[in-house]
Amino acid sequence: REGYHREAIVQYRQALRLSPGNAVWLMGLGISLQAEKNYHEAREAYSRARASGSLSPELQAFVEQRLRQLGQ
């Protein structure tokens, strides 16, 4: 499983070039960035996902929890 998150980061970034406001992809990017200990960029991805306003209540709560973990 080593490298899984690094590869996911590359894939999410490519996908987000096509659809920059896709909140689920931003959330996925945040998860992988956080797993790779890239906390600053993870916070940014989660914040963008939260700001989109298009997440389900459950995913919105998940993103909020992750942002709290990261100190925001």
Start-end of H helices in the chain: 4-18, 23-35, 39-52, 57-69
Residues of the chain with pLDDT > 90, as a percent, come to 94
| Residue 11: per-residue pLDDT | 97
pLDDT of 72 above 80: no
Rounded CA separation 14/40 (Å) = 19
Q: What confidence category does residue 3 fall into, taking pLDDT thresholds of 50, 70 and 90?
A: confident
Position 2 scores a pLDDT of: 65
- Mean model confidence pLDDT for the chain: 95
* pLDDT for residue 62 is more than 80: yes
